[in-house]
Amino acid sequence: MPTKVELCKAEEVAAGTALRVEAGGVTVAVFNIDGTFYVTDDACTHGPGSLSEGYIDGDVIECNFHNGQFDIKTGEVVSPPCMIPVKTYPATVENGVVVIEVD
Ligand code: FES
């Protein structure tokens, strides 16, 4: 059964930035792209990089370790050396709080 997990207040994540959150047994990066929230695993699939500390360019996140890139909305790899997509979580905002569902 999926469990709803409250991550943070929407106002904590300014547009064009990301926030690392540990909650509900997952560690994720919460992205605000032009007022819409997207959530991915924080851990880069290539190594020790933390995607919330990467560089956001539109809807692409560039890992600050080896500059691999992912599509924030889909998790697909945009640029190597990453090979494996990063997990994404459908996110909603409920009463000003960013919420995901975790299996
Ligand atoms: S750890 Fe992210 S690109 Fe290598």
SS3 labels along 47-81: CCCEHHHCEEECCEEECCCCCCEEECCCCCEEECC
Cα gap 55→9, rounded to integer Å: 22
Residue 103: its pLDDT value, please? 82
The predicted-structure confidence for 32-83, as pLDDT tens digits, reads as follows 999 999 999 999 999 999 999 999 999 999 999 999 999 999 999 999 999 9
CA of 57 to the centre of ligand 1 (A): 16
Residue 22's pLDDT band (boundaries 50, 70, 90)? very high
State whether the beta carbon of 99 lies less than 6 angstroms from ligand 1: no
The pLDDT, as a whole number, for residue 2 is: 85
- Could you tell me if the CB of 20 is within 6 A of ligand 1? no
Question: Among 99, 101, 89, 103, which residue's Cα sits nearest to residue 42?
Answer: 89
Q: What is the pLDDT of residue 1?
A: 83
C-alpha span between 101 and 99 (Å, rounded): 7
CB 68 within 8 A of CB 60: no
The pLDDT confidence band at residue 4, using thresholds 50, 70 and 90, is: very high
Q: Does CATH place domain 3-102 in 3.40.50.720?
A: no
80 lines ligand 1 (CB under 6 A): no
| Partners of residue 39 on adjacent β-strands | 30, 89
pLDDT of res. 61: 98
- pTM of the predicted structure, to 2 decimals: 0.96
Q: Is the CB of 63 inside a 6 Å radius of any atom of ligand 1?
A: yes
